[in-house]
Amino acid sequence: MQIPFKYVIRNFRQRKLTTIITTIGVGLVIFVFAAVLMMAYGIEKTLVGTGADDNVMIVRKSATSEISSIIEGDVQNIIRTLPFIAKDSQGKQLVSAEPVVVINLDRKEGGVSNITLRGVSEPVFQLRPQVKLIDGRMFRFGVRELIVGESIAKRFIGAEVGSKIKIQGDQWTVVGKFSSNGSGFDSEIWGDGLQLLNAFNRETSVSSMTFKLDNVQNYDSFKKLFEAERRLQQFEPYIETKFFEKQSEFLALFIRILGIFITVIFSFGATIGAMITMYAAVANRVVEIGTMRALGFKRRSVLAAFLIESILISLIGGVIGVLLSSLLQFFKISTLNFASFSELEFSFALSPSIIVSSIVFALLMGIIGGFLPSVRASRLNIVTALKGS
C-alpha cells in the first residue's frame, strides 16, 4: 500500500496555525494526565522510601495505620524473645518501640494541619540510616526535646530549631532538624518514646515495633515463628517497605481515579478539536484528494495518509505534554495522608511507565479524532473531488 508521506509532511507546513492549536490542546491534556500519574507515583515512592527491606514492623491486625494500632508492654517483651532480631556491637537488640500520635501545628501560610509525632528508641538511627541530622543536635533521651523533619521545619510555625512546641500542656524544645532523602519521615516530628508515652498517659502501650533482621533472608522463618506464637495472634509482622507501600495504596488510587476521570473529560475536548481540524483539512483538500486518487492512490492509502497526519499531531502534542510534566519533578506539594490523617509532603515523580502511558493516550486521541475524517476523505468520489464539490 502506497502512502503519500511527503503530502502529509507538506500539509504540516501549509496549515501551521490549525496544527499548532490542535497540538497544544493535546499537549495540555497529556500534561494533566501525566501530572496525575506522577502525583500518585510520587506518593508511593515517598512512602515506600520511608521503610527498609531489612526492617520488620509489627502492628495490630486490621489496623489501618500506626495510629490505630496498640501493642501492650507484655506483648513487646514476647516479641523481643523471638530469634532473628539483629544486635549491635554491645549485644543490644536493634528494636524501636514507637508510640505514634497526631498533633496540630499552624502553617506559615495560614491554617492548621495534623502532624505525625513519633516516639523512638535509642537504636533508631541504626534502623533508619537514611535519616541524617542537618541542623542542631539529636534530642537527649529522658528529656522533653524534639527533632523535626525538614518539611515540617520549612512549613510550620514554631518548628524551627530553638523553638518550643506545646504537647499535652508541656513545652517541648526543638533541638534539631533531620532529612531522610525525601521519605515520609521528613513530614514527622521525633522525640523520646518513653517521654511521649508519659505525656499521653499511655503507660507502656506503643503503636508499633520496628526491628532489624539479622539477615533479610530470615524473614519467612521469623514470620512462621511469630504466627505460631498464640499470644501474638492479634498482631502482624510486615517488611517495613511493604507496610508503608500499603499505606500509600488508598491515597494513590484515589488520586489516579479522580485525576484520570478529569483527564478523560478534558480529552473529549482535545479529541473533538483534532476531529474538527481533520474535517476542515479534508474539506480544504477535496481537489488534492481527487488528484491523489486520479494518480492511482487507493482509498486505503488516502485513509492512512489522513490518519497518520492526525496521529503525528497527537504524538507531537503528547511529547510536549510529557516534557512539560517532567518539569514538575522540581516541585514538592503536601496533602493529607488518608491512612494516618496527617501531613505528607512529596515530590512529583516520573517513571518510564508514565511516559509510555501518556504517549499511548495521546496516540489514542489521534486515532479516535482522525478516524472519521480519514474515512470521509477516502470515500470521496474522484470526479466529484476533482470538480472541488
Separation CA 22–CA 17 (nearest Å): 9
pLDDT of residue 197: 93
Question: How sure is the predictor about 377, in pLDDT bands with cuts at 50, 70 and 90?
Answer: low
Percent of the chain with pLDDT over 70: 83
Angle at alpha carbon of residue 30, lines to 24 and 33, rounded to 5° = 145
**Mean pLDDT, the chain, whole residue set:** 84
pLDDT tens digits, one per residue of 270-301: 777 777 766 666 666 665 666 665 656 666 67
Residue 59's pLDDT is 94
Other residues' Cβ atoms within 10 Å of the Cβ of residue 96: 25
Residue 176 pLDDT class (50, 70, 90 cuts): very high
Q: Label residue 14 by pLDDT band (50, 70, 90).
A: low
Report yes or no: 26 and 318 within 8 Å, Cβ to Cβ.
Answer: yes
Q: What residue segments make up the domains of the chain, in order of their start?
A: 5-48+247-387, 62-233
Is residue 168 over pLDDT 90? no
pLDDT(114) > 80: yes
CA distances from 387 to 162, 175, 288, 291, 345 (A): 84, 85, 10, 10, 64
| Local confidence band at 366 (pLDDT 50, 70, 90 cut-offs) | confident
Contact yes or no for 349/37 (Cβ under 8 A):
no
- pLDDT above 90 for 370: no
Mean pLDDT of the 174-181 span: 93
Distance CA 100, CA 360 (A): 43
Kindly tell me if the per-residue pLDDT of 269 is higher than 80: no
Q: What is the mean pLDDT of residues 5-29?
A: 70
**Environment class of 129 (CB within 10 Å of its CB; exposed 0-12, middle 13-18, buried 19+):** exposed
pLDDT of residue 386: 54
The residue written with cell numbers 474522484 in the block is 382
pLDDT at residue 12 in the model: 59
Higher pLDDT, 17 or 124: 124
Q: pTM value? A: 0.80
Cβ atoms of 176 and 62 closer than 8 Å: no
198 pLDDT higher than 90? yes
> What's the confidence (pLDDT) of residue 303?
67
The predicted pLDDT at position 299 comes to 66
Please tell me the predicted confidence (pLDDT) of residue 312: 84
DSSP conformational letter for 334: E
